[in-house]
A and B are shown apart, each in its own frame.
Chain A
Amino acid sequence: MRALSNQKLRKSLYAYAIVIIGYAVIQVLANGGGLSSAFEGQLVPICAYVVMALSLNLTVGVMGDLSLGHAGFMSVGAFSGAVACIALENMIPVPALRLTASIAVGAVCAGCAGVIIGIPVLRLKGDYLAIVTLAFGEIIKNIITCFYVGQDNRGLRFGFLTSINDLNLGDGARTIIDGPMGLRSVPKLSSFTAGFILILVTLAIILNLVNSRSGRAIMALRDNRIAAESVGIPAAKYKLMAFVTSAALAGAAGTLYVLNFSTTVASKFNFNTSILILLFVVLGGLGNMWGSIVAAALLTVLPEMLRQFNNYRMLVYAIVLILVMLATNNSSVRTLVGKMKEAAALVFKKRGTGR
């Protein structure tokens, strides 16, 4: 039993260590001028995707339900967070505070969406659950495409299915969300440090949840729902708890993401984005948090690394993806990696005893 908890602890420490070391290395490199601007520009999106992957891992890995609409929550967080950020411009002039407040608003809005969606969705199972999350993702995309938000001296004005001209903005008019044209002139508040802190907070929330009594209940439901329910674990409550946490964290990631670009359109958060996040989670390993972090970071950088292939870039990306999936599931490769690990462990041990 002690060994088990030690292993858990070690895994959690891995995750924190990767994030902190990664942050330190990148900061040192950036200060030394050793980073290309291409890589520097990707730091915030990487942080956002890492948070997305961690939060989806909570649904798919820990809770065991396939979600194909995770980008929908990112979208809710992105758009509500950006509106909050612009609306609070005069009230909170300090950028760091405003960013925190916007992320909080994004997380709360996405969490609310999580409650609304989670209650019906979690009654379903397997592929039916997956398709309903896909459906909600598409609905969110469609609805935000028809949404108009403007600001004038009287405050925020909302419109649905109209056009920005019909909002009748008065003095000091500013368009925030212009339907299909998406967000306009968003202040770029996100920074790598903010992203780093958000990853740490996300990790703390998820690891605490997983290692708590509730987390054990959620995993028991995943492993055998009937057995878990028969010992009195309320399935609906715990599943909803995990789902809403996951949605809220995705919303926070969405706000972080959107405040890094001057414009974002609703169709960015489509089915393909949901699938991309799922890709990070599956490649990193279900339930494996540090795996999600590494996979999200690597796979976000990979397409940029392939720029020299020009038009063949995405073809190469697809081939790499298939090969990685085949290699990671190939028994001989896995045995080889296992042997290498054993050998490495042996070397370390020898050195340890030799001293």
Chain B
Amino acid sequence: MKKSLLTMVAVVLCLCMFAGCSTDAPSGGGTQTDAETASNEVFKIGATGPLTGGAAIYGIAAKQGAELAAAEINALGGLQFEINYQDDEHDAEKAVNAYNALQDWGMQIFLSSVTSTPAVATAVEAFEDRVFGLTPSASSTAVLEGNDNIYQMCFADPNQGSATAQYVADNYPEAVVAVIYKNDDVYSKGVYDTFAAAAKELELNIVSETTFTEDSQQDFSVQIADAQNAGADFVFLPMYYQPASLIFAQANAVGYNPTYFGIDGMDGILTLEGFDTSLAEGVMLLTPFSADAQDDKTVNFVTKYQEQYGETPNQFAADGYDCVYAIYEAIQSSDGAITVDMEAPAICEELIAIFNGGFSFDGVTGAGMTWNENGEVSKSPTAVVIQDGVYVGVK
């Protein structure tokens, strides 16, 4: 065994040396500019997200959105951005590693992390190092708690939960409600908790509450039967679209067709490759972004994204895209107070002042967005309903 160990050490050391030789070159981003001039002419924007593993779909989408925005901004010839997305595998430990790698790279502005658990871990680090953070999609409130320099581009979980409860109470006061949520997921459980609290206050009639986990997200027959037997005519699904698509199919197979209500994670269901959109007919969701919107900004974004990556952007891509543009506009609105040669802490203080000082931003995920000093975004969630395979706005 000793020999085998020596061999292993030799192999790994060789590899490390090989890796070490080339770490001087800037790694990451698809929008790199020339390495030598990079340090003093471009803003170095770092971010972490799951680029491998089960959650990779969210990280890759946000990365592509952010890189698309940076490419557009760089093409304008004014401010120059370099985006460096590092893989965090949807894990707090790896996210801190990724964050530290970004620090070594010389990050000036941080797009935080894409998913909540890693974002909570990196937010604390960014708070200590005074790096400004704007997360595209980490919606847990724990990301913002106690950190004055971390901001969100997406709705916070409580907003989504209570907004949904309010919407149901206003429009369907007689609704008999069932909830299915993912019990080992920060996002799903976070929305559920606030929904449940708000529903209690509004005296909604919740008859069935069932859960699933990462390990058991294939068969939903029990959850569906529970909702059906309890007579629910309204099913709230605070989850991402992949498990939701299975619920639609399985409920349809047993002839159960209630009104479904989703949250922003549901966006993407219509572009799911091979999905029979008739199953999602009548699904309502509160979402800030829809790829089918006809305004110029969205059309431009969706077309370019499709050209570049060959797929329709989802909400994460839109959030990543907006984050970069928000930072771009914030820097422009500083009238030269923020320059490329500034250190991260100095930029951080300037950006905090701008974001707290009535800065308003129009992006593809909403118009007239403003931020409060906790870092929460204020934008109006729009309720949409799926009709004939497209989103239709509801009043």
Contacts and interface: CB of A to CB of B under 8 A. Distances in A.
Interface of A: 36-42, 45, 138, 142, 145-146, 163-165, 179-182, 184-185, 188, 257, 261-268, 283-288, 291, 294-295, 298-299, 301-308, 310-311, 313-314, 320, 323-324, 327-329, 333-334, 337-338, 341
Interface in B127-158: 140, 142, 145-146
Most buried by A among B25, B124, B146: B124
The 5 closest A-B pairs by CB, nearest first: A285-B1, A328-B4, A41-B100, A262-B124, A38-B100
B89 to A, nearest CB: 8
Interface stretch (B91-99, B290-298, B365-373): B91-99
B213 A142 contact: yes
Given A180-B186, A265-B186, A333 B16 contact: no
Given A184-B142, A305-B20, A314-B53, A263 B121 contact: yes
**Interface on chain B toward A: helix, strand, loop, or mixed SS?**
helix
B189 A41 contact: no
B1 A165 contact: no
B87 A145 contact: no
Contacts of A341: 3, 6
Interface of B: 1-13, 15-16, 19-20, 22-23, 25, 27-28, 51-53, 60, 86-87, 89, 91-94, 96-101, 103-104, 117, 120-121, 123-124, 140, 142, 145-146, 183-186, 189-190, 193, 196-197, 213-215
Contacts of A188: 124
Given A268-B92, A311-B51, A306 B140 contact: no
Given A145-B184, A324-B11, A327-B11, A307 B189 contact: no
Nearest to A290: B5
Contact of A267 (B4, B94, B184, B193): B184
A165 B200 CA distance: 12
A56 to B, nearest CB: 16
Nearest to B146: A185
Contact of B184 (A42, A180, A305, A334): A180
Contacts of B4: 285, 328-329, 334
Given A181-B140, A185-B146, A307-B27, A264 B92 contact: yes
Contacts of B94: 303
Nearest to B22: A308
Nearest to B181: A180
Contacts of B5: 283-285, 288, 291, 294-295, 328
A71 B276 CA distance: 40
Contact of A263 (B7, B100, B142, B215): B142
Contacts of B123: 262
A179 B103 CA distance: 32
Contacts of B13: 298
B8 A41 contact: no
B100 A40 contact: yes
A306 B51 contact: no
B100 A181 contact: no
Given A263-B121, A306-B19, A314-B53, A45 B93 contact: yes
A286 B1 CA distance: 8
A308 B146 CA distance: 33
Given A308-B25, A324-B8, 20 more contacts: A36-B100, A38-B103, A138-B215, A164-B193, A165-B193, A180-B186, A181-B190, A182-B117, A261-B92, A263-B117, A265-B184, A266-B184, A268-B93, A285-B1, A285-B4, A285-B5, A298-B8, A307-B87, A308-B23, A324-B7
A45 B94 CA distance: 10
A141 to B, nearest CB: 8
B12 A320 contact: yes
B16 A261 contact: no
B12 A298 contact: yes
A16 to B, nearest CB: 17
13 contacts: A138-B215, A180-B189, A181-B186, A261-B92, A262-B120, A283-B5, A283-B8, A305-B15, A313-B87, A320-B12, A328-B7, A333-B7, A337-B3
Given A263-B121, A304-B101, A320 B51 contact: no
B145 A185 contact: yes
